[in-house]
Structure 1
Amino acid sequence: MATTAGPAQGYSYARPSGLAGGVLDLATSGGTTLAGPQAHPHFFSGVLTRPAPAAAALLGLADVARTRYFQPRPTGFRDPVVTCNGDRLRLESFSACGGVYARLDVLQAGMDGEVRERGTTNVDVNGPLREALARVGGGDPLHFAVGAEELVVTTGDGAVVEKKVPLPDRWLRGFAEVQVITAGFDPRAELAAADAVRFLRALPARTRGPMWAVPAGRTLRLGSRPVPGAVCLPGAERLRTMLPLLRFATGLRAYGPPATAASGPLSSVWELELPGMRYVLALSPETDRGFSGEGAVLDALAGDEVAADADLLGALLAFEPRVEPDLLAERSGLDLARTRAALTQLGTSGRVGFDAAEAAFFHRELPYDPSRVAALNPRLRAARELMGAVRFTAPDVALVPGSDQDRQVRFTGDAARCTCPWWAKYRGDRGPCKHVLAARLVRDGAAVPAGGAR
């Protein structure tokens, strides 16, 4: 699969992150707090009460960010996104290929200190820091700071530490896609510590095609075919960053959508429970298929009303660790269905994520311009260009121009079918085609873009 890296996003760090004298200090850049944007926010100072698993999990997160699981080749460092939600710290990253989402949740039991601010930023993870983390043992608590007291620390020539980090557009699209996809997952399996260790250590180093993990007593049995209740494990080697964490593991949970005997490859979430923290990996349906290609966000990006509702809800968010739809509906005056749709819209711009362990959204602010999300979806752009030529021949049937002939879109409630080759190939598994999107936009009364007459 050919990929194109997005433009490099420049981060200005006051100084590099480092680990010295038992103090792990993560330098921040360009964050958003409750008080608004800050150049170098300071979120937390204290200790991580379980230093060895914390250091190993941070290394796992960094390893995911620099790994290309499909057609492996060397990549540089990419900086994790960190959110302080008050009672926990969440560190998130994507693999270089966009097919693995990784998150480390340091929970209240795993940290002890002062929360200076709530918000989101990038943190510097560099080579020397990785080497230092690899030497952390299980002795004294690890002193931990996200951000520094000083906002500017200069080098010998008086310049702040600068580095250009290529943060591809596929990361932004992946963050948008993964929360929409995983929000529909349910718990499928839970293994105790010893069973989790045996299962993960027995995984093959390389697989061809997806495997299926089927609950079998206290453990999971791997098979090559889907059955009801199974969890898809596409590319078992993508769980390998969990192996160094197994000596600390207290359990393993797997989440996924319902599977049937006819299911194709599916995404899944794998959560390793650690003392005071959770290490989470979400896997795309295939190793050569990143989350940025799923198309799950397209319906959420399409509607004008949902976008307006999302703007309203966005103003009410305050970096909560759990975003409660019922409470947001009450505060905003929207009904629950519109509130949930608006939360999905907020997720498409990276403003909320989803925690499968708690079946809840959480607030964060990615360091991107939210307007870029829609621009990164060529199907949505193409659909908007087609809107002016959509013709409804019945309330539930529309004709939309195709490359060689009109395509018929037929609605059945919220579902839709199309006669185009894209729909025939994927059957909606990778989101709606451009013809369905265009017809839905017209049906729902969205404004025709300038230059396109209906």
Structure 2
Amino acid sequence: MATTDLDLAYASNSSLLQQNGIQQLVLAHQTELAEVNQVPCFFWGSVTDPLLTSKCLLTLSKVVRSSFGPVPPSLRDPIVSAGTDQIRFEGFSSCNGVYARLDLLEDAIDGEFLASGTTNVDFNEPMLNALNAVRKTEKMVLGVGSKEVSISTDKGKVVEKKVSLPPRWIKGLTSVQLYLADMDQKFQLNKMQIVQLFQSLPKGNVKGELYLTQRANRFAFSPIHTKDAVRVGGLQRLRLLEGLLPYSEKLLVYQEQGGESCAFVADFGKMRLTLALSPDSYRGFSGEGNVLENMLQDVPLEWVQGVNTLLKSNEMFDPTLLSIEHDVDFRTMDTLTASLSAIGLLGYDLHHRQHYYRRLPFKTERILSLNPRLKNAQKLLSSDAVQFVKRDADQVEARVAGTGVQHTVIMQGERYRCTCDWFTNHQVKRGLCKHILAVKMLL
């Protein structure tokens, strides 16, 4: 699959202006959806803790500009969702193996939500320099959406041109929340424990996997797996949080039930910063394929549009309540929930242990086109490459034609097997292979 980026032309540029001693931060937005483009501004107001907010945004920018895999670091723009009395900033590392989200909660902002929506945020050197210069006592005004065409501080003015957003970010958004939704809290560290833990981080790149363990009142990393230990692949990626250590009072550690991915949440009360790590440095969230099984059933576009009219950005998604209020069959709602999740329209909040709605500024067709394994499975069906050998309630066996070879797929309940190289190498840890997907489609 080609990895060409999606070129985005912003109607205006982000700006940071200083007027009468007040920093005014305005984040320009871009979208493919015409109806969203009509909205000039989503939010306008002040930030109640400018220093901490700036440190969190700088940490998010550090994530976005980093890379821990074969993909070289490059400047990418985080995504911001405004609505339901909070603002969420999201971003991935260039290698797509680290996901970061800053949640500015109701007490972190003091202003007016003029509309609800999701945009792309333009972070650049003048903006970062200005955030670095923010002091604890000054006031900062945040606006999401603007007609400004420049970025200005008291040091000068910068005019920006169009930027690019990689399609793997869209795929990452559809994948990472499935990992988050499968996580449980394992540890909670206080300020002293946080400092001690980060002081013990090994220098340089760490090969292999280490485990976060608790011994009495101390936490440490060990190469030995013990009960209740949290596996951390690519340990050096945790250094992205070092800039927040002086401000962190509480750090929550989560792990996915399969023991693959983990997340660290710095909780500041009025805001939270989540850092989720893919299973290993060489594995990006966009390539996992764990969403493919949820995309086997086509969801009518009318369903997606209906949900879009019902929910605002960042609004908690309660499928049971929606089913009751709108007289929708529970099984139908389960299908809709899985599909909305698979195309990135649902995020997951670890604190509330619940999905929230995200209005992505991309057409649904673009998201669906980014999964080559699913498209290859559809090609197998169109060429009649799948033949059932056995098909009953307990077991399904099928032959799937490959290039000069016949693959055997066996399905027993939720247990799947295939004789292809993908399954041999990854089992089901990185999503189903195209042969199993094709069989499931026929079923």
Q: Give TM-score, length-normalised by structure 2.
A: 0.89
Is the Cα–Cα contact under 8 Å of residues 43 and 113 in structure 2 kept in the other structure? yes
Question: What residue is the counterpart of 1:339 in the other structure?
Answer: 333
Which of 102, 120, 128 is the equivalent residue of 2:100? 102
1:150-172 CA distance string (max 9 Å, x none): x36589xxxx9652222111111
Question: What residue is the counterpart of 1:450 in the other structure?
Answer: none
Give me the whole-angstrom Cα distance separating, in 1, the residues matched to 2:430 and 2:7.
29
Which of 10, 13, 20 is the equivalent residue of 1:12? 10
Give me the whole-angstrom Cα distance separating, in 1, the residues matched to 2:379 and 2:124.
44
Is the Cα–Cα contact under 8 Å of residues 9 and 165 in structure 1 kept in the other structure? yes
- SS at 1:12 equivalent: coil
Which of 109, 112, 115 is the equivalent residue of 2:110? 112
Change (3 A) 1:68 1:320: closer
Offset of residue 306 of structure 1: 8.3
Q: Which amino acid aligns with 1:409?
A: V
Give me the whole-angstrom Cα distance separating, in 2, the residues matched to 1:123 and 1:164.
12
Give me the whole-angstrom Cα distance separating, in 2, the residues matched to 1:292 and 1:180.
12
Q: Which amino acid aligns with 1:139?
A: T
Is the Cα–Cα contact under 8 Å of residues 312 and 332 in structure 1 kept in the other structure? no
Is the Cα–Cα contact under 8 Å of residues 308 and 359 in structure 2 kept in the other structure? no
- SS at 2:55 equivalent: helix
Give me the whole-angstrom Cα distance separating, in 1, the residues matched to 2:85 and 2:54.
20
Matched, 1:222 2:218: no
1:400-446 CA distance string (max 9 Å, x none): 11223222212222332112222122111111011100000001xxx
1:44-90 CA distance string (max 9 Å, x none): 22221111110011011111111112247452x22211111222110
Q: Which amino acid aligns with 2:219?
A: L
Q: After superposition, where does 1:385-424 map in structure 2 within 5 Å?
A: 385-387=379-381, 388-395=384-391, 396-424=396-424
Change (3 A) 1:299 1:79: same
Matched, 1:426 2:422: no
Is the Cα–Cα contact under 8 Å of residues 25 and 140 in structure 2 kept in the other structure? no
Question: What residue is the counterpart of 2:277 in the other structure?
Answer: 283
Question: What residue is the counterpart of 1:371 in the other structure?
Answer: 365
What is the root-mean-square deviation of aligned Cα atoms in Å?
2.6
More moved, 182-191 vs 200-209: 200-209
Offset of residue 181 of structure 1: 1.9
Question: What residue is the counterpart of 1:451 in the other structure?
Answer: none
Number of positions where the alignment pairs a residue of Structure 1 with one of Structure 2: 428
Which of 324, 330, 355 is the equivalent residue of 1:330? 324
Q: Which amino acid aligns with 2:388?
A: F
Offset of residue 291 of structure 1: 0.6
Is the Cα–Cα contact under 8 Å of residues 8 and 30 in structure 2 kept in the other structure? no
Give me the whole-angstrom Cα distance separating, in 1, the residues matched to 2:31 and 2:165.
15
- SS at 1:366 equivalent: coil
Q: Which amino acid aligns with 1:174?
A: G
Is the Cα–Cα contact under 8 Å of residues 150 and 160 in structure 2 kept in the other structure? no
Q: Which amino acid aligns with 2:336?
A: A
Is the Cα–Cα contact under 8 Å of residues 19 and 132 in structure 1 kept in the other structure? no
Offset of residue 276 of structure 1: 1.3
Q: After superposition, where does 1:205-284 map in structure 2 within 5 Å?
A: 205=203, 206-258=205-257, 266-284=260-278
Offset of residue 369 of structure 1: 2.3
Matched, 1:437 2:437: yes
- Structure 1 runs not aligned, ≥5 long: 444-454
Q: Which amino acid aligns with 1:422?
A: W
Structure 1 residue runs of 4+, over 6 Å off? none
Change (3 A) 1:300 1:309: farther
Offset of residue 127 of structure 1: 0.9
Give me the whole-angstrom Cα distance separating, in 1, the residues matched to 2:281 and 2:143.
35
Give me the whole-angstrom Cα distance separating, in 2, the residues matched to 1:32 and 1:201.
45
Offset of residue 344 of structure 1: 2.7
Q: Give TM-score, length-normalised by structure 1.
A: 0.87
Change (3 A) 1:306 1:343: farther
Give me the whole-angstrom Cα distance separating, in 1, the residues matched to 2:114 and 2:32.
13
Question: What residue is the counterpart of 1:448 in the other structure?
Answer: none
Q: Which amino acid aligns with 1:254?
A: V
More moved, 432-441 vs 250-259: 250-259
